[in-house]
């Protein structure tokens, strides 16, 4: 699958970048970032513990930002399971005072920026350093493989390669083997691990030689994350800024990065795509998307669709097309949390089952964790999605 990223420097505000991600020429992700105020997800800091709130099992940490960051006990203790992490753990048996002390320094990573809210950043001690094929976890002990790699022989091969390379460097670290590692040569995977170990060694050296708050590793905001997420063999990057072109080429020497002054303009349809509340389907139906603090609600309507005289088949066709478009819209808007979809009523249980399967297949293209639950008694399909960039 080919990917193309367009990084558009705004004509009216030169500090504003609009980022568009295409998958086989289909627009699937849209982001916006201020050059002087990049998102902090993935950044690693040496923080100073300022206060401990025993009642909520959390600590407040100064990482040098305007607001104190917050870390919960579940993000301080080692993961109990490679499948569920600490989701099923009994947190009542842990006391945060046994893990952090006021005034001490601690290495942390930002999980959620929260710069647009009243809360401070959400941080974790479970550091994850992202490479092209491997995610290195210095404070974890298990190696796991992306669920999208389904071949058991390939999964074992990748685990063995990763385990052997870490042992060669005398490191008892954990790792996540990414989908991009499937069928990749052993030498390439080992090189990826070596680069991540070098990055971690540098982080530790900076931590030893400094006191908090101190930035130890800059993830380079949205663009940095996207560059890590996509393999260079399948990616083309285009920008309308000569300055940005020079900067990107110096940082990402093995990438295809091009300049095109006319790749987009401020009137291009890409700029209104993310803000659309009402989206028309090819069949004539449409969906509406409403985002609230508690959840995201999506309504499916038949609209102008006429179809044949068989009503149930007509409704199923609209719902089928809606499910595929909803999967794309969740990525475009980077929807997170609970998503409830009100499809057009289907009388047949088989039709509901088929629509759910279509949705499950469509969200496989998403680069984040998406769970398609089931239809409720009221006929609403429940979905949960982890946003790529925390909200």
Q: What's the pLDDT at 237?
A: 94
pLDDT, mean of each 10-residue run, the chain (391 residues): 88 84 91 84 94 93 93 86 63 89 95 76 92 91 89 96 92 89 93 94 95 91 84 83 90 86 82 88 92 91 67 81 95 93 89 94 91 92 87 51
Query: DSSP letters along 202-270, please?
Result: HHHHHHHT--SSEEEE---HHHHHHHHHS-GGGEEEEES-HHHHHHHHHH-TTSEEEE-TTS--TTSTH
In Å, what is the CA distance from 336 to each residue of 18, 35, 43, 309, 329? Answer: 20, 24, 21, 38, 12
* Same domain (yes/no): 162, 241: no
Per the structure, the complete domain to which residue 250 belongs is given by: 3-35+221-259
Same domain, 290 and 377: yes
| β-pair partners for 217 | 44
Do 146 and 94 belong together in one domain? Answer: no
Number of domains composing the chain: 4
Residue 111 makes CB contacts below 8 A (sequence gap 6+) with: 41, 75, 121, 122, 123, 124, 390
259, with CB counted inside 10 A (0-12, 13-18, 19+), is middle
Q: Give the model's pLDDT for residue 338.
A: 95
CATH of the domain at 70: 2.40.50.140
Residues pairing with 236 in the sheet: 4, 256
pLDDT tens for each residue of 318-344:
999 999 999 999 999 999 999 999 999
Note whether 29 and 43 are same-domain residues.
no
Is 213 part of a structural domain of the chain?
Answer: no
Predicted pLDDT of residue 193:
95
- Are 341 and 383 in contact by the 8 Å Cβ rule? The answer is yes
Question: Which of 126, 149, 177 is where one domain is finished?
Answer: 126
Q: Give the CATH number of the domain where residue 321 resides.
A: 3.40.630
Shared domain check, 323 and 305: yes
In a domain, 353, yes or no: yes
155 in any annotated domain: yes
d(CA 101, CA 78): 18
Task: Tell me, yes or no, whether 142 and 162 share the same domain.
Answer: yes
Same domain? 343 vs 284: yes
CATH number where 22 lies: 3.30.420.260
Residue 185: inside a domain: yes
Q: Do residue 348 and residue 369 come from a single domain?
A: yes
Q: Which two tokens stand for residue 193?
A: 């691990």
- Does residue 390 belong to any structural domain of this protein? no
Residue 216 inside a domain? The answer is no
Does the residue 316 lie in any domain? yes
DSSP string across 287-298:
EEEEE-SS-EEE
**79 and 44 share one domain:** yes
Same-domain check for residues 364 and 287: yes
Please check whether residue 156 lies inside any domain of the structure.
yes
Q: Are residues 107 and 18 in the same domain?
A: no
119 in the same domain as 56: yes
Long-range CB contacts for residues 9-15, cutoff 8 Å, separation at least 24: 9/239, 9/240, 9/241, 9/244, 10/266, 11/265, 11/266, 12/266
Q: What is the pLDDT of residue 267?
A: 72
């Amino acid at each position: 699958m080919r990917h193309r990223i367009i990084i558009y420097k705004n004509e009216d505000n030169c500090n504003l970048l609009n980022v568009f991600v295409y998958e086989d020429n289909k627009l699937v992700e849209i982001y916006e970032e201020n050059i002087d105020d990049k998102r902090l997800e993935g950044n690693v800091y040496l923080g100073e513990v300022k206060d401990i709130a025993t009642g909520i099992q959390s600590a407040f940490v100064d990482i040098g930002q305007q607001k104190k960051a917050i870390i919960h006990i579940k993000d301080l203790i080692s993961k109990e399971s490679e499948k569920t992490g600490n989701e099923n753990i009994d947190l009542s048996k842990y006391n945060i005072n046994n893990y952090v002390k006021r005034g001490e320094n601690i290495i942390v990573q930002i999980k959620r920026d929260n710069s647009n809210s009243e809360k401070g950043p959400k941080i974790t001690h479970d550091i994850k350093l992202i490479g092209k094929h491997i995610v290195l976890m210095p404070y974890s002990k298990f190696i796991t493989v992306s669920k999208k790699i389904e071949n058991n022989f390939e999964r074992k091969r990748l685990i063995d390669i990763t385990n052997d390379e870490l042992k060669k460097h005398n490191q008892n670290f954990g790792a996540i083997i990414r989908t991009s590692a499937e069928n990749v040569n052993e030498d390439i995977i080992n090189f990826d691990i070596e680069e991540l170990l070098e990055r971690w060694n540098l982080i530790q050296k900076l931590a030893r030689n400094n006191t908090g708050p101190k930035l130890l590793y800059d993830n380079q905001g949205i663009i940095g994350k996207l560059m890590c997420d996509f393999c260079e063999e399948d990616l083309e990057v285009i920008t309308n800024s000569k300055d940005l072109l020079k900067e990107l080429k110096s940082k990402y020497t093995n990438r295809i990065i091009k300049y095109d002054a006319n790749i987009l303009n401020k009137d291009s349809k890409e700029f209104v795509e993310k803000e659309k509340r009402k989206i028309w389907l090819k069949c004539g139906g449409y969906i509406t998307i409403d985002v609230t603090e508690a959840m995201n609600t999506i309504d499916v309507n038949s609209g102008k669709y006429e179809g044949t005289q068989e009503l149930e088949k007509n409704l199923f066709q609209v719902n089928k097309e809606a499910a595929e478009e909803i999967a794309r819209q969740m990525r475009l808007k980077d929807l997170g949390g609970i998503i409830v979809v009100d499809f057009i009523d289907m009388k047949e249980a088989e039709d509901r089952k088929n629509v759910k399967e279509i949705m499950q297949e469509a969200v496989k293209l998403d680069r984040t964790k998406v769970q398609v639950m089931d239809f409720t008694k009221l006929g609403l399909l429940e979905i949960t999605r982890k946003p790529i960039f925390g909200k």
